[in-house]
Chains A and B, each alone.
Chain A
Amino acid sequence: MLQQDEDKMALQLADSSVAKTIGKRSWLKEWGVALRRDKYLYLLAAPGLLYFLIFKYVPLWGLLIAFKNYSVFLGFQASEWVGLQYFADFFSNPDFGLLFRNTMAISFLNILFFFPLPIILALLLNEARNMAFKRFVQTVVYLPHFLSWVIIVGICFLIFSQGTGIVNNLISDAGGKPIPFLTEPNYFWAMLTAQSIWKEAGWGTIIFLAALAGINPDLYEAARVDGASRWKQTIHVTLPGIRSTIIILLILRLGQVMDVGFEQIYLMMSAPVSHVADVFDTYVYRLGIQNGRFGYATAVGIFKSVVGLVLVVLANRLAKKFGEEGLY
């Protein structure tokens, strides 16, 4: 309804402004001309625009339930308003600090250790001479991406569990003391990061390999003529060639800093590591989904998105300041 009203208003506004202001009029006229001239291009773009409108922008209205005591049965309209209560509840919740620390720590460990790996891997693959070897390695490193977290966590248990895990069986056969890999809070973040790397590092190389393929071969030739070694070529030609890709991906990655992968953490979480594993996503699941407080869950979701947005904007500014292209 709201949407409809607004659109009507926009139409009326457009109408009246055409009659009133000449500046607006010429703008509209120009636009009309452009529309007619490029009508097929607009037609081509229409499905994409509609997709974003329908599936990305229209559902944004749903965010309003963060301010409502949303009851599924009563529905969107009939649920009563609660204002900013959910936000107040969330920030005053005694666990907030813990959740924030865990989310940030896991996320930044990821950026620090996981993010550079696909770049290094892509560089290595790029240097591989034998095509068959390169293809083989690519296939092998892509594979884990297609395994679900359930399977990966399952494998992890088989390898690292204390009573039946392979590693600990070896350790105890060799006379050592079993190590509680899965239940020791100090290892938990490292475990998560290692799993992410194992699963996604290979898949992450795709974009970088594509960027690498786009570097002008003449540059390498020129560098070779100047006597640059393989290493020097990497430093002075390859890396600068993919720098903008790296920066854009890093900025985008910062936007997801609050999303640390619900599935993985939920599956890996157990009582002894709970205080280092509980993150916003698991908290939302517990309070929002399990207890059916959808409004509250949405409020937390909005908070996460706002933090992500702020980081993206800041990072983009910073990138521009240093003369990089940035996102927009």
Chain B
Amino acid sequence: MKMNSKKMLTAIFALVLTFSMAGCGSKSSGTASSGVSEDKPTDISVTTITFGGTPSNDLEGLQEIGKKLNVKLHINYIPANNIGEKLNALLASKDLTDVMFVEYLESAPAYLSAVQQGAFWDLTPYIKDYPNLSQYPESVWNNLKVDGKIMSLPRIRPLDGHMAMSIRQDWLDKLGLKAPTTMDELYNVMEAFTKNDPDGDGKANTYGLAFVGAPTGLMPMFGAGNGWTQDSSGKLIPDWWTPQFKEGMAFLNKAYKAGLILPDFPVMKSTQLKEMLLQSKAGIAVNNIIDSYNYSQDLQKVKPEAKLTAYELPKASDGASHYTQATGYYGQLLINKKVSEDKLKKILEVYDYTATQEGYNLVAYGIKDKDYTVSADGFITQKEESKKLYDNSSSWLSGYFNKYARAEEPGIPADIRDYNHKLVDSISQVSVADPTIGFSPSEVYLENGADWTKKKQDMMVNVILGKNTLDEWDTFVRSYQEDSKFKKYVDEINEQYK
């Protein structure tokens, strides 16, 4: 009897142990496999972002690539909303696919430290062997570098065209105004759009300018620079320490007080900017060049005469138009160190092929003449049902570089396209890059950056709303100039700048 009860006890403990071990044990299997054999297709798994559909892995376009390069592609799509947390969870569970998407390594510290600890392939020695990948602009490769090494493939995007003034042309015409070219003119047009009833419904329900949350994206327009600016002594300072930045806030504060800005801007989400334009609530916004054309298409369904036109930004007080240059990518693709070098080469081969227009179109649009047709002037028209099948299907690609990607769109009339191309050309002559991009990330920023950004943005909004004065903004800036942690951050940036 005693023996029996002891046995029972042991059994229970054993059972408990097994289960608790199962609870503790980390799953190390993962999905990354390393083998490459000659005849069997290589399995390549990719995790990426999606803003809409999650296309099937059996798409004909993918199979075509599989046949051509002897690979089998497994793409996992994660919705954009909370991709950050999902990716962190995947990293923590060591359940990484061969290729992993991250939005920006700077904003994904867990991945950044994994990169620095050697969890992903250093691509620096390989890129030159791939003719199409190596055609990406040099500056984009530089922007991508972590501690001087290329650790990821860029999801390539144009450098310019994300910053233009979108303005209601029909409102301008109706009120007999011209597109503003200076800040004073901009203010006058905003005022006219607000007070002179441009939509002609007899109600004061329109606003001059629309933006959402803290208008960090508007500040470069006033000459504050792109993230970091040289001060008079040649030292780099954050753009929000500059007098130009303050000038921009004074402008917006004045406009807000006069009622020219949509009062809900602090609580609006970024998607609502488009709504405000489409609902004819606001007449001016700063956005991608192509947005003006796209939104016009939607607007005209309700109001045939409505039209948004993209213009160059108004000149700041120094008499010049100021633009930021983008990093040239949205999202980075890391390659798991667990894959063998042979397989790495296979993966790069796939990305090299899809960095051509031909390869890209296969993934993004499908089979030519079956899923899409190409018009005489080179524009692609996709069939409706293929559009659904291939929704977001190109989101795992690095793609091919098109300088004008933010200025054109399948089906755009030739005159608008040429006009937009000219806009990009003139913007690209003056746009400035962020001088700190490609720098090694600063430890103190990684730990505090999100908090700093939030406080700065809160302060910006409150100054525009008039809840804080411009003097208080100065005090706020000074408090950061004196803060020991922030000082350290600025010093670290400047050390690398020399």
Contacts and interface: CB of A to CB of B under 8 A. Distances in A.
Given A14-B9, A291-B448, A4 B21 contact: yes
B23 A157 contact: no
B460 interface: yes
Contacts of A7: 13, 16-17, 20
Contacts of A10: 13
B444 to A, nearest CB: 11
A270 B461 contact: yes
A29 interface: yes
Given A71-B117, A72-B113, A271-B458, A3 B24 contact: yes
Contact of A293 (B19, B447, B467): B447
B13 A271 contact: no
B263 interface: yes
A240 interface: no
B446 interface: yes
A63 interface: no
Interface of B: 1-2, 4-6, 8-10, 13, 15-17, 19-24, 26, 84-85, 88, 91-92, 107-110, 113-114, 117, 119, 207, 213-214, 262-264, 266-267, 281, 446-451, 454, 457-462, 465, 467
Contact of B462 (A1, A14, A272): A272
Interface string A153-187: 00001000111110000000000001010110000
Contacts of B19: 50, 53-54
A320 to B, nearest CB: 33
A73 interface: yes
A3 to B, nearest CB: 5
A74 B117 contact: yes
Interface string A252-296: 000000000000000000111011000000000011011111000
A73 B21 CA distance: 21
A58 interface: yes
A162 B263 contact: yes
B263 A55 contact: no
B2 A271 contact: no
A32 B8 contact: yes
B262 A163 contact: yes
A4 B23 CA distance: 12
A162 B264 contact: yes
Residue with the highest number of chain B CB atoms closer than 10 Å, among A4, A36, A163: A163
Nearest to A286: B450
Contacts of B213: 270-271
A40 interface: no
Contacts of A178: 263
B148 to A, nearest CB: 20
Contact of B467 (A50, A182, A272, A292): A272
Contacts of B13: 7, 10-11
Contact of A73 (B113, B264, B454): B113
A61 B6 CA distance: 29
B119 A73 contact: yes
14 contacts: A3-B21, A28-B5, A50-B19, A72-B88, A72-B114, A157-B267, A161-B267, A163-B264, A270-B213, A270-B461, A286-B451, A289-B84, A291-B109, A291-B451
B202 to A, nearest CB: 13
Contact of B16 (A32, A50, A71): A50
Contacts of A48: none
Q: Which of B23, B26, B119, B465 has the most CB of A within 10 A?
A: B23
Contacts of A161: 264, 267
Interface in A25-74: 28-29, 31-33, 35-36, 50, 53-55, 58-59, 61, 71-74
Nearest to A185: B467
A161 B449 CA distance: 30
